[in-house]
Amino acid sequence: MNKYVFALIAIVSSKLALAQPELTHNDMVIKAQAFVKAKNARQQPTTSVRDIDNFIALLADEFVDEHVRYNFTYTDKAKLRKDMVAKLKDKVVHSQIDIIDIMTGANVVFIKMMESGKIKPAHLDHEVEYEKTNIVSLEFNSDGLIKHIRRHHG
């Protein structure tokens, strides 16, 4: 009988040890705000490589950054960083991201935000102005880093 109790305790203990600790609502709100702040910082007239690195630091080593509308996905930090650094050639007149709403679930946060700006991409001869409501979901790993971004563009 004792060995069955011991076996049961061992099984339950191992399952608990492997379970991902759930982030609190406040943890996820703070992480959502940090994501938007870092995303905003990497799209400014004064953006530097350091701003890009701060954004990349929010991501887990194994991550997925999925642009649902465009059926495009990043899974490589080096490629993502390279593409972001290349965008530093764009002229940013202004860019702003404002959080409209935040909803949380089990280690996931949904951010509804208004993105607006005026940029002149390096490959175009004219400026592009935009104002869109977008929804982003962020899923976190056990270290509190982003393991999956789903961008639902407006």
Domain boundaries, the chain: 23-152
Q: Where residue 22 falls among pLDDT bands split at 50, 70, 90?
A: confident
> Considering the entire predicted model, what is its pTM?
0.84
How far is C-alpha 152 from the geometric centre of its chain's CA atoms? Answer: 12
Between 13 and 27, residue with greater pLDDT: 27
Cα dist. 52→42, 64, 81, 115 in Å?
Answer: 6, 17, 7, 18
CATH number of 23-152: 3.10.450.50
Q: What is the pLDDT of residue 125?
A: 94
